[in-house]
Structure 1
């Protein structure tokens, strides 16, 4: 009987996780971006980026697997609370409270695995490890990379400038800084070739 209850909870957990495949990221919705990415899509690309760490670009020897795990759980609470942004009228304190409660609920469904996910989530939220700080860089980088993709798709240079402004000067890892530099270079080239900028 205990095993049946355990399996029932795991299916409930998987159903919650599945929601992330369909919930759109709030920032893009507020900017009227059609067919915008889901929360799961955002976390997936962050996860894939951890595979790009090599001996050459990872001088501080970050634990790639830990980076991957953090990337995959950092927004997990949003399957319950949704994607809360500064534009949603919720204070940062209340946002953190809601997300923490959601993560505790998720952790209760999966036992030891849930304890591990909660631990990684807190590590990310509190930025208490080099891996958590790297995941924060990935989070910000994926956001501006996605913004640039939408600007190109809509042929609307600088339409999503607010996302670049919000992350300017906040990147720390040298590998990600190099990618930011290249992204900015490509964005400048795109602007030169495109029509008059629109605003979000």
Structure 2
């Protein structure tokens, strides 16, 4: 029995290992070279949960739960890929495929898988303050990454659609403050680039 269980765990680890190599669809569509992978996105989201402190976490969010949700929220993509609205898959079908993939993943790891599936559904249904915070992290990491690409390419507003699509959708005060700072730096970058361009 133990050998069977261990072989399933190995299968699970190989499946999720794919996330280290699958590039995020949004960047691929925008022709961004050397773009991030799904695992890279989840990793930075996970690290952001450590930034919650007594000062910026007045509602006492469970930091460990936020971390767990961040690490499982895109897990299904190791099977179904990173489906975006540009992929032509209706939202209901996307959710169905992802839930099915998560069930398969859960079956490989027993009780641990049940826990991952529950956390995934919590995120999908946005049914807890921690799930809502993870959604903020998901959106924030995306616009931060977009800004990093704009700076790398020296192209202000290159990825404006990602900012437009998330504008006003951040709920947690701490993340709202980080968004304001990101917007400030992005505006500064745009002005600086315009000055350089006009004086060239």
Alpha-carbon distance between aligned partners in 1 of 2:10 and 2:117, rounded to the nearest angstrom: 18
Paired positions, count: 195
Runs of 4+ in structure 1 deviating by more than 3 angstroms, as ranges, are none
Partner of 2:45: 46
Residue 90 in 1 paired to residue 84 in 2? Answer: no
Partner of 2:198: none
Alpha-carbon distance between aligned partners in 1 of 2:169 and 2:91, rounded to the nearest angstrom: 18
Alpha-carbon distance between aligned partners in 2 of 1:40 and 1:195, rounded to the nearest angstrom: 35
Task: Please report the RMSD computed on the Cα atoms of aligned residues, expressed in angstroms.
Answer: 0.8
Alpha-carbon distance between aligned partners in 2 of 1:109 and 1:119, rounded to the nearest angstrom: 15
Which is helix-richer, 1 or 2? 2
Q: Deviations over 1:136-164 (max 9, x none)?
A: 00000000000000000000100000000
Partner of 1:174: 173
Q: CA deviation at 1:189?
A: 0.1
Q: CA deviation at 1:195?
A: 4.5
Partner of 1:158: 157
TM-score normalised according to structure 1 size: 0.97
Alpha-carbon distance between aligned partners in 2 of 1:17 and 1:49, rounded to the nearest angstrom: 21
Q: Deviations over 1:13-48 (max 9, x none)?
A: 000010000000000000000000000000000000
Alpha-carbon distance between aligned partners in 1 of 2:147 and 2:2, rounded to the nearest angstrom: 48
Q: Deviations over 1:93-133 (max 9, x none)?
A: 00000000000000000000000000000000000000000
Alpha-carbon distance between aligned partners in 2 of 1:195 and 1:122, rounded to the nearest angstrom: 45
Unaligned runs of 5+ in 1: none
